[in-house]
Amino acid sequence: MTETMTMAKALNEGMRAAMAADGKVLLMGEDIGPLGGVFRVTEGLQAEFGENRVLDTPLAESGIVGTAIGLAMSGFRPVCEIQFDGFIFPGFDQITSQLAKLTARHEGTLQMPVVIRVPYGGHIGAVEHHQESPEAYFAHTAGLRLLSPATPHDAYWMIQEAITSNDPVMFFEPKSRYWQKGEVDRESAGIAAHSSRVVRDGTEVTLVGHGAIVSMLLQAAELAAEEGTSVEVVDLRSLSPIDYGPIVASAQKTGRVVVVQEAPGNVSVGSEVAATVAERAFYSLEAPVLRVSGYDAPFPPAKLESVYLPSVDRILDAVDRALAY
């Protein structure tokens, strides 16, 4: 049985299911209670589970993460919401210096089942600090898992898998897709959240991306098909660890790979994917692995976001360049 819902609703329902299944699951964040969060992702959960399990916090990201670490040490499973991507940096030290390292520091005897939800990315016409893609900072940090759903179905199941993980999970939610509707099967066996997947079959070029970019890759693939080019699309889902099996298999099949992301390209998740594909599929490649990304500059004013961020046209241009080799 499937239901049609937005990604925001799917995340809401996923957290509701996790809270109903385990009384140790707590939600924490700024304005997540009666308001339901800026994007209404936690709407109705405080009314259902009470103020002791859905906590409105002060505007202090370091305090939110630090408190979550203490709660995890006491046996709880806190889920923190960072209101916008650019607001995560006051909590950066707590995340990278403490949360990511405590399990290793205690030789595995201390678990850190903390989820940090981060609405990220552009395409919403917002101002500075509200449209950034900081995932590379955390993918570089050993001890953290990183997930980013691209569909409501994945969002529903991946947030539950993140909450049941005994490792800390950075859960990056593509905010421009919060209102995207899709089918959610609540009765399925769930998904393997840390596995990449082929979402469209093709034979000539492979497009790889995550989060909001996946929808754009599918649009580009559809337009390319109208011109007679067969494009395969791979959704990363997990940014750390990355499941390279389907990506490398696709590269070996098509011989051409384009990696796309909203984040700046320098020292990024896309850079790592491109390098690894070049290493593991070298003798199958017919062209260099190409990248399409945001520019290596601070995020511009909202009216210039369409210039800064990848577009279908920029993706198709990279497809054409790959085919030209």
Catalytic positions, written as ranges: 130
Q: Cβ(101)–Cβ(140) under 8 Å? A: no
β-bridge partners, 259: 208, 291
Q: Sheet with 77-81: list strands edge to edge.
A: 54-56, 25-29, 77-81, 115-120, 169-174, 145-147, 238-240
Whether the CB-CB separation of 121 and 176 falls below 8 Å is answered with: yes
CA dihedral 176, 41, 173, 234 (to 10 degrees): -80
Enter the tokens of residue 131: 């449209």
| 81/60 Cα distance (integer angstroms) | 12
Cis amide leading into 241 (omega within 30): yes
Helix axes 7-21, 152-164, angle to 10 degrees: 30
Q: Do 81 and 29 contact (CB within 8 A), yes or no?
A: yes
Nearest in space to 23 (alpha carbons), one of 70, 72, 77: 77
Distances (CA, A) of 264 to 86, 132, 145, 308: 14, 9, 21, 9
Residue 139 CA to residue 180 CA, distance in Å, equals 26
Alpha helices in 140-267 (DSSP H): 152-164, 213-226, 245-254
CB atoms within 10 A of CB 107: 7
- Could you give the CA distance from residue 147 to residue 230 in angstroms, rounded to a whole number? 28
